[in-house]
Amino acid sequence: MTHLRPLDLDEVDDPEILAMWEAGIKKRGFVVNAARTMARRPEILKAYTALNNAVMYSGTVDGELKMLITLVRSVASGCRYCQSHMANLSSRFGASDEKIQALWNFEESELFTDAERAAVRVAFKAGSLPNEVEGEDIDELKKYFDEGEIVEIIACICLFGWLNCWNETLATQVEGVAAAAAEKSIGPMGWEAGKHA
């Protein structure tokens, strides 16, 4: 059970937040419970949303890859809430269930390019505690991505460090759409909502 109740939509009257949530519904299909909890401090929610949009939805790194690396980062940290969200968004950005499931064996899977493997490897190692990224991991990224793209990839991974901690600490309840997406795509890999049910 969640430790802080997400605000109901009718409890929020800030037009900027309501507009952000409308855009979020188009991306995800629902309003995120984490954002509904953050809405108790509108400036935090607005700052987070601006960062999230800059990191996840701008730049030149492929959107599907961004969703997959944030899913892997969330798997490494153990945040099942974020795993459900990123399974949903990976699918919405074009990843097949087979490719999402292949993340558990990305080094050998033919579904990943060498460039994708390099990014996924960094995401997994960065999500581990302690962080296991080595210089050679970044050198491998440099073979496929320019420095600006590497900044994008690392920013995605780091953004989810914050989100993983937020949602694990508050036991944020997973929404039905995200839970259904996770059950379909990563359920066979052992995903369950756990404390986020």
How is the chain split into domains, by residue range?
62-196
Q: Quote the pLDDT of residue 120.
A: 98
> What does the DSSP assignment read for 71-130?
HHHHHHHT-HHHHHHHHHHHHHTT--HHHHHHGGGTTT-TTS-HHHHHHHHHHHHHHSSS
- d(Cα 108, Cα 103) in Å, to the nearest integer? 10
For the whole prediction, is pTM greater than 0.75?
A: yes
Q: Quote the pLDDT of residue 27.
A: 83
For 63-77, what is the HEC assignment?
HHHHHHHHHHHHHHH
Domain 62-196 is classified in which CATH homologous superfamily? AhpD-like (1.20.1290.10)
Q: Quote the pLDDT of residue 24.
A: 86
Q: Chunked in runs of 10, what are the mean pLDDT values of the chain (197 residues)? A: 92 95 88 96 96 97 98 97 97 97 96 98 96 98 98 98 97 96 96 96
Longest dimension (CA), the chain: 50
- d(Cα 10, Cα 133) in Å, to the nearest integer? 44
Q: Quote the pLDDT of residue 29.
A: 84
Q: Quote the pLDDT of residue 28.
A: 84
